[in-house]
Each structure stands twice: as C-alpha cells, then as structure tokens.
C-alpha cells in the first residue's frame, strides 16, 4: 500500500428517492447505522426498501426479526409495496427470527447466532428489527449483567464491520434516550418522526449523524406511498443540467396591452406575481401566459392548488383549446397539488420533476393563496421562508415563474399584494375593481418590475371568453386607488366618463367582440 493511500468509503444507494441527497451521496459502505423513531414512523419500510434495492444472491441481505411485529404480518404488509420482489425473498434476502435467543438465552447467544448466520451467508447488508427489544429484554435484567448491553453493541458493531457488512439496527427510541450507547457507537443515525399539528400529520426525517459524509441538515419531509418512502430534501438536488442564463429575452404574457405595460414583456427567468380580488381574471391571465409560451414552441408546467385539474383544464380549454392538446402532446404538464398536509418541499419536488421532464421554460403557480391553504399547518407558519426557497429554486433553473395571489380588499382600500411574498418577486402586477359611473370596472397596473421601464398607469381591462383584453389609460382620473375614481377637477365621484376612457373601453370591447366571433 502506498504511504498516502486512503481507504475509500464507497456509497451504497438507499433505494429511497431523495434520501441519498440528504445523506450526502448515499449510505457509507460497511457503516453501522441506527434507524430510530416512534411506532408507525416508517422504520421497517425504510429498512426493507434499502434491503430490496441492494441485496443480490451473491451478496445477500440478512433480515433478523426479534420481537414486536410478528414476522408473518410484517411480510404480509411489506409485500404490498412495489419494491418488494418475492423472487428475492429466501435467496437474496433471508429473514431470520431471533426470538428464541432473545427470549430464552443471553446476549452472548444472540451475538453468536448473528455471527454464525453472517459467517454462513456472507451478507452485504444486515438488519436487526427491532434492536430495541433486545435492549429491553436484556438491558436491565439479571441476564444482562454477565454480558451487558454496551459490550454487546460494541462487539456486534465490530463483527459487522469486520465482515464488511452495512448494517441497520431499528428501534423505537424517544429523543430523551439519545444517551443510549447505541447512539454513540452508530456511524449513522436516521431519525423518523410524525409531526402532528391540529388534524394534520407530516412525516419528517433527520440525519442526526453520518460519519464521513456531509449530510444535508434539517428536517426533511417524506411520504409513504405504494412505492415506499419518498423523501423531499429541503434543498432539492438540481436534476436539470440547465444553468441560469440571463438572456434578457422578453416573454409575452399573451395579453398585448399587458406586454406594453411591461416594457415589451416579462424578462425570461423572472418571478412574476399577479394579484387581485376574486373574479378579477387572474387564472385567465395565467392561462394566456402559458398559451403564449406554447404557441412559441416552449413547454410549461401549471401547478393547480385551488380547483380540481379537470375543472381547471375545462375552463382553460374554453379560452384556448390548444391547452388540452398540448398536455396530450407532452408539451404541458398540469400538476394537481391539493392535499391539506402538503409540504413546500413536496410541492417543489413535483414541480421540479415536471420542469425537468418537459424541459419547461414557463411555470404557473395558480394560486399562492391555494398553495398556502394546501400546506400542512406546520408549514404555514414559515410560509414566507418556504416560498422563498420554492421560487428561488425554480428560477435558478432558468424558468419563468408566474404566480397568482388573491388579495381580499375592502372596496375603498387598495392592497397591492400580500406582504408575505412580494419580496421574492421581480414583477408585481395588480388587478382591482373600481366603480365608474355606477358600474364595476376592472383596472390593472404594474407596481414593480425590476430592471425595466414599465408603465405606471392604470389601464382598464375586460375579461372575455377568449381572455383578458387591456384597454386605455385612466390618466384623467384621480383617486383610482380609493376604488371610486373621480374625473380630475370633480369631487363628487359622479363625473361623466371622458371621451378618452370611452374610446379605450370601446376599443377593448371591440377587440373582445372580434375574438368572441372567431
């Protein structure tokens, strides 16, 4: 061996989507790991997933069961998961019950049996489920005194490492028990938990320790589905190879008048927020924005939070029948995210996966208000920080993000945006209602646009069957923000509509009528 040659610690894949990123590249080979957590936290499922993705006939896995969940029930339930391949059971994965040794003999016999089975099978992976029951049975009993638990753990770890085995001990531990000797000996410590907040339950995973790896800190949410565990890292791995390229290209919103107000369109890669009260046409503009991209040959993703995708698609198709066809053609993905226990990371994972799959240039999030409601209560508390991560990660891939947000406002009080999210956006467009000559009118303005000489005017618009049509300005009016504008020089709010506004409205109406007639 050369003098400076270091032992290479290879990584083995966990087989759990998202977990290898959290672990800093995978599980260190020959490491001695503890998977801890409360009942029902997913320990056994995680261990099975690791085992089924790594075991081979040449390098099998030994799965030692002790007490707790009866093995036959464990097998019955575990085989419901898609990763459970019955062909591997018995050959590549051997289940061995240790209950006799644990119940009737001492820890020395338990260790001897484990070592004998390892010598026989020469496994690559060993699982002891549940290790905690061995400790309970022997840790404080008289039988434990001759061969105490600390010594047992020490020797077990040594045997497993010298036999070049990657091992996992499973156990129900509480956070107060972290002085348990197994926590000290373990090379890796994965903690699974279920956080309950009101009626919502969110599963979380934390890598408390992993030797020789820079793991991702923090609590990462995960779900257990028919496919097993799926971890959503807090800092998602950039699956896309696209790098952020500031092209300064202008993207059309699909609304001619709005493009004018935006100095030619939205700068590619920007985060745009369109706010307005209910019924002001936010989803309509969002659909037009996406349609403009599709018409230009781009691909896109729409994340829907407020309504069922079928209904959303039906209405989008009314405005632009191409939307449905584009989904069928694989140019557009409609993602439905409406559970009430959603985590930001899960939403981000779904959107990023679709962006990467389609090579999307445009992403619509409709709406942030629905997104906030869909989140589990525990995540609503740090919505601002979560949204910052979501938007930052998405725009870092180079996509342009168009978000809608509902603002509830008293009629005579203008609110441009929710204070929670305005800081993360490059462009803010505001829609609102005003009363003019006894009629409810809609106006739109660009409040913020970084790096552009955007319009500062209020402009009337109409929502038609084919989309938004922006009309003329209201430069002859004052008090638009009050909701009851008055013609300059008048104060009673019942001023006649000036010719310019009438022309603007008439023009918008004509365009709308012409589009309807198409």
Chain positions contacting another protein, by CB under 8 A: 65, 70-72, 75-76, 79, 86-87, 89-91, 95-97, 99-100, 113, 116-117, 119-120
* Smallest distance, another protein to C-beta of residue 169, A: 18
Residue 334 CA to residue 364 CA, distance in Å, equals: 10
| Residue 36 contacts residue 169 (beta carbons within 8 Å) | no
Nearer to another protein, 95 or 312 (CB): 95
* Smallest distance, another protein to C-beta of residue 270, A: 54
Nearer to another protein, 7 or 57 (CB): 57
* Smallest distance, another protein to C-beta of residue 95, A: 5
Question: What are the structure tokens assigned to 397, written together?
Answer: 């891939």
* Smallest distance, another protein to C-beta of residue 113, A: 7
* Smallest distance, another protein to C-beta of residue 133, A: 12
* Smallest distance, another protein to C-beta of residue 90, A: 4
Residue 70 CA to residue 97 CA, distance in Å, equals: 10
Residue 289 CA to residue 252 CA, distance in Å, equals: 7
SS (H, E, C) 393-422: HHHHCCCEEEEEEECCCCCCCCCCCCCCCH
Residue 265 CA to residue 402 CA, distance in Å, equals: 13
Nearer to another protein, 91 or 162 (CB): 91
* Smallest distance, another protein to C-beta of residue 158, A: 21
Nearer to another protein, 165 or 468 (CB): 165
Nearer to another protein, 91 or 225 (CB): 91
How many CB atoms are located within 10 Å of the residue 325 CB?
A: 13
Nearer to another protein, 44 or 65 (CB): 65
| Residue 394 contacts residue 363 (beta carbons within 8 Å) | yes
Nearer to another protein, 226 or 413 (CB): 226
Residue 158 CA to residue 383 CA, distance in Å, equals: 46
Answer positive or negative: Cα dihedral of 102, 106, 110, 113: negative
Strand residue runs (E) in 198-351: 200-210, 220-225, 228-232, 250-251, 266-267, 271-276, 300-304, 332-336
Nearer to another protein, 79 or 357 (CB): 79
Residue 127 CA to residue 97 CA, distance in Å, equals: 11
| Residue 145 contacts residue 106 (beta carbons within 8 Å) | no
* Smallest distance, another protein to C-beta of residue 157, A: 23
* Smallest distance, another protein to C-beta of residue 71, A: 4
DSSP category for residue 423: G
| Residue 163 contacts residue 155 (beta carbons within 8 Å) | no
Nearer to another protein, 71 or 484 (CB): 71
């Amino acid at each position: 061996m050369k003098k400076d040659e270091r032992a290479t610690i290879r990584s083995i894949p966990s087989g759990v989507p998202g977990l290898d990123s959290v672990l800093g590249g995978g599980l260190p080979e020959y490491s001695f790991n503890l998977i801890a957590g409360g009942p029902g936290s997913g320990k056994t499922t995680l261990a099975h997933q690791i085992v089924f993705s790594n075991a081979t006939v040449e390098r099998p896995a030994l799965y030692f069961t002790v007490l707790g969940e009866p093995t036959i029930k464990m097998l019955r339930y575990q085989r419901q998961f898609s990763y459970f391949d019955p062909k591997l059971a018995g050959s590549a994965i051997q289940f061995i019950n240790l209950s006799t040794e644990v119940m009737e003999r001492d820890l020395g016999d338990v260790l001897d049996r484990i070592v004998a089975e390892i010598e026989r099978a020469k496994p690559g992976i060993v699982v002891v489920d549940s290790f905690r029951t061995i400790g309970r049975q022997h840790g404080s009993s008289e039988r434990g005194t001759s061969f105490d638990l600390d010594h047992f753990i020490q020797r077990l770890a040594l045997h497993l490492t010298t036999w070049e085995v990657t091992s996992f001990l499973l156990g129900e531990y509480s956070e107060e028990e972290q002085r348990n000797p197994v926590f000290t000996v373990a090379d890796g410590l994965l903690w699974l938990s279920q956080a309950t907040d009101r009626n919502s339950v969110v599963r979380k995973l934390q890598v408390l320790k992993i030797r020789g790896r820079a793991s991702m800190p923090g609590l990462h949410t995960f779900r257990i589905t028919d496919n097993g565990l799926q971890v959503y890292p807090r800092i998602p791995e950039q699956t896309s190879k696209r790098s952020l390229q500031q092209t300064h290209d202008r993207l059309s919103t699909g609304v001619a008048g709005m493009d004018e107000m935006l100095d030619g369109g939205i700068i590619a890669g920007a985060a745009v927020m369109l706010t307005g009260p209910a019924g002001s046409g936010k989803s309509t503009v969002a659909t037009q924005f996406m349609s403009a991209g599709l018409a230009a040959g781009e691909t896109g993703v729409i994340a829907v939070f407020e309504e069922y995708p079928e209904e959303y698609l039906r209405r989008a198709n009314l405005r632009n029948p191409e939307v449905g066809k584009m989904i069928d053609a694989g140019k557009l993905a409609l993602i439905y995210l409406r559970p009430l226990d959603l985590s930001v990371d899960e939403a981000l994972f779904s959107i990023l996966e679709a962006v990467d799959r389609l090579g999307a240039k445009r992403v619509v999030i409709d709406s942030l208000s629905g997104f906030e409601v869909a989140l589990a209560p525990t995540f609503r508390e740090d919505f601002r920080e979560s949204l910052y991560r979501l938007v930052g990660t998405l725009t870092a891939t180079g996509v342009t993000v168009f978000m809608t947000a509902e603002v509830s406002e008293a009629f005579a009080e203008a609110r441009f945006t929710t204070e929670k999210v305005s800081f993360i956006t490059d462009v803010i467009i505001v829609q609102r209602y005003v009363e003019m000559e006894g009629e409810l009118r809609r106006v739109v303005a660009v409040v913020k646009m970084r790096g552009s000489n955007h319009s500062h005017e209020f402009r009337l618009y109409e929502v038609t069957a084919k989309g938004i049509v922006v009309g003329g300005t209201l430069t002859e009016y004052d008090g638009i923000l009050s909701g009851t504008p008055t013609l300059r020089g008048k104060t009673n709010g019942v001023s006649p509509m000036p010719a310019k506004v009438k022309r603007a409205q008439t023009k918008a109406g004509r365009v709308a009528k012409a589009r309807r007639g198409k």
